């Protein structure tokens, strides 16, 4: 865990839509890839939506969060609103010029565009430092 505090973006919670269109799946794949790259950590939007106390409290308490919606319907945003979780960073994939359709063969260029938007929406990358942190 110590290495996470030293990774820029390592403490960012990422919540994403995973809807049944290309843009919903781009939102989800964006969260997966950023997590694998060490930029933030994907969290369970369904747990927040189900009002499971640990998931809701974690989302309320996190310092940095980015929520990714596939389209302007805004399901992920609505889940947070229903759970009284403040919206922090927010990205809508269709706002990036990516057209919504039912083609689930995702384009890596679209995913990369969404990843860059999430990085920008997260604000300045300020790794948290704690007493247990390897980087002092």
CA–CA separation, 88 and 68 (whole Å): 11
Q: Provide the residue-wise pLDDT of the chain in tens; the chain has 136 residues.
A: 333 443 445 689 999 999 999 999 999 999 999 999 999 999 999 999 999 999 999 999 999 999 999 999 999 999 999 999 999 999 999 999 999 999 999 999 999 999 999 999 998 754 433 333 333 3
| Domain 2-121 falls under CATH 3.40.50 | yes
CA dihedral 104, 43, 119, 30 (to 10 degrees): -10
């Amino acid at each position: 865990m110590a290495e996470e505090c030293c990774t820029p973006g390592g403490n960012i919670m990422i919540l994403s839509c995973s809807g049944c269109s290309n843009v919903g799946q781009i939102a989800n794949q964006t969260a997966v890839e950023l997590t694998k790259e060490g930029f933030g950590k994907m969290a369970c939007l369904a747990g927040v939506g189900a009002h499971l106390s640990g998931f809701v409290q974690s989302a309320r308490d996190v310092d940095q969060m980015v929520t990714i919606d596939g389209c302007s319907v805004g399901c992920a945003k609505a889940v947070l609103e229903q759970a009284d979780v403040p919206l922090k960073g927010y990205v809508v994939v269709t706002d990036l010029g990516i057209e919504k359709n039912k083609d689930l063969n995702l384009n890596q260029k679209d995913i990369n565009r969404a990843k860059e938007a999430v990085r920008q929406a997260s604000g300045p990358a300020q790794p948290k430092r704690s007493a247990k942190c390897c980087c002092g």
